[in-house]
Amino acid sequence: MSSLTRITPRRTRVGLVAGGLGAYWPQFPDLLPQLQRSAARVSERMRDLDAEIVDVGFISDAQEGAAAAEKLRVAGCDLIVGFLTTYMTASMLAPIAQRAGAPVLLINLQPTESMDHATFDTGQWLAYCGACPLPEMANTFTRLGIPFRSVSGYLEDERAWDRIGRWVRSAGVRAALRHGRHGLMGHLYPGMLDVATDLTLVSANFGGHVEVLEFDDLRVRVEKVTDDETAARIELARGVFELDGSVNDDDLVWAARVSVGLDRLVEDFELDSLAYYHRGLDGEIHERLGAGMILGASLLTARGVPAAGEYELRTSLAMLIMDRLGAGGSFTELQALDFRRGHVEMGHDGPAHLAISARRPLLRGLGVYHGKRGWGVSVEFDVKPGPVTAFGLRQDRDGGFGFVVSEGAVADGPLLQIGNTTSRVDFGCDPGEWTDAWSASGISHHWALGTGHRLADLRATADLLGARLTHVQPEPSRSFDTTGDTP
């Protein structure tokens, strides 16, 4: 997808504060300099996580903690990281957690894997004592009603840094939702009760804004697209896609024109995602616009602006989450079960995330879109072989949004050639049993399919958002198991 320019998302802003108990400094003169060196190393490694780091330095008492709290409050951080270098009182970090308005991660990273017990004196031991205040912080934060999470390890412990990186990535996803503008254009596909979403609940659960759009907002922009712009978009499409012989020239021209208009719509309304559907009637302009969306929506999705058909707002949000985690995230539903091979076949006749295609994606011409009015070009591909994650958002009766996650692997096998994205996924169990467990989770009939096993990242993201997560996953014995809701 080198011919497509991805958007540049807002960088995750991480506030960093390190600290220790000031009473130690006159007692052990070499201690503070050592701890400050550790703090500098943590700051350096945090900057390697592709985040903007707001480092407010080292605090030694509650007064300095209060001053740091004000700096971090003003900075508007997406995540606060408190580095426990040695023992420190909870009063030093409590105001930071209370005022920052951001999730809190406590890290305890001692200098090395183990102390040299035979030679260490008290001052040298205290440099390894970051674990000591962690229960105190946990107790205090719990009593203050402040959620927190922690990572313990040592300075160059890659396992610990993997976990820290996961929290930073998840904070970035939370920020993308909180600052996001999500377009909803057209109307609900008639009868799809599972797709219907209370728009206020998006802001209530995730923050952000839902911009309600008309297809006329797209129409007026498509009308202004020039022939030169259309020709350039066709050239882009020919570079990105393989064109099947079924593609009609007039349909390709129309899809290209709609694609340019879509880009303008996204730019004008500053959208981070889009869900759309319009039924239309008798070939009129709104029907033609709705039928001409797939090319442009797929190009937008590949660039980092997920677009989902059938008015699937929650799935466009799930696609955004997967995209920001680096997993792609393509619009997906169940297509069939292959009991002979043990595979679940899934995909959709609409927007696809081109970056996760197993090969150069195909544009196929369709004389009819099943279940929809109109005709035109559609995208056909299968997801790259290897680990994948199915991920969707459900809306519970209490109005909460829940994460539903299952990990599997894309497997080889025959695929339909009908202009759909289609993948065969092996979840390690009978496909019928997996389908029953997946459906029982409360998921809607659409979700995002992305590359890699992303359960750990999605657990962290759900934690930061306060969302319930249901893990639908088979055991190696090829049975299935739903682990249930976890906070």
Q: 420-430 in b/e burial notation, b at 16+ Cβ within 10 A?
A: bbbbbbbbbbb
Report the C-alpha gap between 274 and 210 in whole angstroms: 9
How much is the average pLDDT of 429-450? 95
Going by C-beta distance under 8 Å and a sequence separation of 6 or more, which residues neighbour residue 204? Answer: 399
Shared domain check, 131 and 270? no
Domain boundary among 177, 210, 229: 177
Shared domain check, 453 and 406? yes
For the chain, the average pLDDT equals: 93
Q: 171-204 in b/e burial notation, b at 16+ Cβ within 10 A?
A: bbbbbbbeebebbbbbebbeeeeebebeeebbee
Question: Is 464 a residue whose pLDDT tops 80?
Answer: yes
Taking the CA of residue 91 as centre, how many other CA atoms within 13 Å lie in the half-sphere pointing to its CB?
Answer: 7
Phi-psi region of 75 (alpha: psi -120 to 50; beta: other; left: phi over 0): alpha
Shared domain check, 246 and 319? yes
Shared domain check, 173 and 202? no
Domain count along the chain: 2
Question: Looking at residue 3, what is its pLDDT?
Answer: 62
Q: Is 6 a member of any domain?
A: no
Question: Looking at residue 379, what is its pLDDT?
Answer: 87
Residue 91 is part of which domain span?
Answer: 12-177
Question: Looking at residue 2, what is its pLDDT?
Answer: 46
Q: Is 251 a member of any domain?
A: yes
Shared domain check, 184 and 140? no
Residue bearing tokens 């809701």 = 485
Shared domain check, 191 and 173? no
Domain boundary among 161, 177, 193: 177
pLDDT in tens, 49-90: 989 999 999 999 999 999 999 999 999 999 999 999 999 999
Structure token pair of residue 325 = 């985690």
Determine which helix (DSSP H) or strand (DSSP E) holds 75, and give its type and residue range: helix 62-75
Q: Which amino acid is at 418?
A: I
Q: Cβ distance 321 to 177 under 8 Å?
A: yes
Domain containing residue 242: CATH number: 3.20.14
Question: Looking at residue 351, what is its pLDDT?
Answer: 78
Residue 157 has φ and ψ, to the nearest 5°, of: -80, 105
Q: For 455-458, which contacts have Cβ atoms below 8 Å and span 24 or more sequence positions?
A: 455/389, 455/405, 455/407, 456/166, 457/166, 457/169, 457/170, 457/325, 458/321, 458/325, 458/389, 458/391, 458/403, 458/405
Q: Is 132 a member of any domain?
A: yes
Shared domain check, 235 and 356? yes
Shared domain check, 160 and 31? yes
Q: Which residues pair with 346 in a beta bridge?
A: 334, 423
Q: Is 2 a member of any domain?
A: no
Question: Looking at residue 482, what is its pLDDT?
Answer: 38
pLDDT in tens, 249-301: 999 999 999 999 999 999 999 999 999 999 888 889 999 999 899 999 999 99
Q: Is 433 a member of any domain?
A: yes
For residue 173, name the pLDDT band (cuts at 50, 70, 90): very high
Shared domain check, 207 and 98? no
Shared domain check, 144 and 231? no
Q: Which residues pair with 390 in a beta bridge?
A: 406, 449
Question: Looking at residue 480, what is its pLDDT?
Answer: 37
Question: Looking at residue 411, what is its pLDDT?
Answer: 94
Shared domain check, 164 and 251? no
Going by C-beta distance under 8 Å and a sequence separation of 6 or more, which residues neighbour residue 428? Answer: 408, 474, 475, 476, 478
Domain boundary among 149, 177, 205: 177
Report the C-alpha gap between 455 and 426 in whole angstroms: 16
pTM summary value: 0.93
Q: Is 5 a member of any domain?
A: no
Domain containing residue 33: CATH number: 3.40.50.10940
Shared domain check, 455 and 326? yes
Q: Is 482 a member of any domain?
A: yes
